[in-house]
Amino acid sequence: MTNPTGIFITLDGPGGVGKSTTLTALAELLRRRGRPVHTTTEPSNSPLGRFTRAHADRIHGHALACLVAADRYEHLRTEIRPRLDHGDTVLCDRYLASTLVVQRLDHVPERFLLDLNADVLLPHLAVILTADAQTIAGRLAARGAHHRFERDPQVPARENELYQRATEVLRGMGVPVLAVNTTESTPEEAAEQIASAAPPSPGSVTTSPADRT
Ligand SMILES: Nc1ncnc2c1ncn2[C@@H]1O[C@H](COP(=O)(O)OP(=O)(O)OP(=O)(O)O)[C@@H](O)[C@H]1O
Ligand SMILES: Cc1cn([C@H]2C[C@H](O)[C@@H](COP(=O)(O)O)O2)c(=O)[nH]c1=O
């Protein structure tokens, strides 16, 4: 397989923190700056991904971990790698960090999750969106819960702890991790922070911050 030439950026964070909204703002910002951007999500939009999403409230623990990982390998093969090979910046709403958090909520051991995901492509930048637990609860109440992990009021605080652990694990694997606290920032402000940390797109002219004025 060829080395992908595009840039792979993942966005994770507690349910309802603002991943999809921020990803949309980031995609618009990067496109305005001339980058080819492909947006995607996990579970993916393939038949396996749609099955996983549809049944994630009834399938628990190791079985859900395996389904999510199977969808991830197929997502990489059929969508993410081809878009990276094409030179796109791929923005993925949920990826490996979500597994290291959501499956831990189901008490799946971290070792099992790391082994299952041992051969996935690591992102060039893993963004972890955070907000204080009360803010997340407010956003979830305003929008409505999508699945069982968002219906338990204790979960946002636990997810924040687990994302700190996931950050350490990813950094230990050599993945650059950017934590963005969205408690006080708009999706557009969060997108600006991420864009500033994003590795340059292939073929783009690298300028120093002073040159960009
Ligand atoms: N930075 C922000 N400030 C205020 N509200 C926000 C912010 N980001 C998102 N929201 C609002 O919070 C709610 C949840 O956002 P969104 O659906 O993007 O979250 P999510 O993390 O993608 O959720 P899920 O984990 O369920 O996929 C939405 O109503 C959205 O408008
Ligand atoms: C990537 C990923 C996803 N899941 C599950 C958790 C939820 O049931 C859905 C995601 O829904 P959302 O609207 O994006 O919050 O998929 C999972 O269990 N593990 C994962 O790694």
Q: Is the pTM of this model over 0.80?
A: yes
Q: Phi and psi dihedrals of 124, rounded to 5?
A: -70, -30
Q: What is the pLDDT along the chain (213 residues), one digit of tens a residue?
A: 456 689 999 999 999 999 999 999 999 999 999 999 999 999 999 999 999 999 999 999 999 999 999 999 999 999 999 999 999 999 999 999 999 999 999 999 999 999 999 999 999 999 999 999 999 999 999 999 999 999 998 999 999 999 999 999 999 999 999 999 999 999 999 999 999 999 998 765 443 333 332
CATH architecture under which domain 7-199 falls: 3-Layer(aba) Sandwich (3.40)
pLDDT, tens digit, 9 for 90 and up, residues 14-26: 999 999 999 999 9
Residue 10 CA to ligand 2 centre (angstroms): 14
pLDDT, tens digit, 9 for 90 and up, residues 97-109: 999 999 999 999 9
Mutate to test the pocket of ligand 2, among 10, 42, 66, 67 (most ligand atoms within 8 A of CB): 42
Domain ranges across the chain:
7-199
Which of 159, 35, 172 has the alpha carbon at shortest distance from 114?
172
Question: Taking the CB of residue 111, how many other CB atoms lie within 10 A of it?
Answer: 8
Integer Rg of the chain from CA: 17
Atom of ligand 2 nearest to the CA of 20: 14
Atom of ligand 2 nearest to the CA of 93: 14
Residues 6 or more apart from 187 whose CB is under 8 A from it?
A: 18, 21, 22, 24, 25
Distance CA 12, CA 14 (A): 7
Distance CA 12, CA 126 (A): 8
End-to-end CA distance of the chain: 40
The ipTM estimated for the assembled molecules is 0.98
Closest ligand (CA of 141)? 1
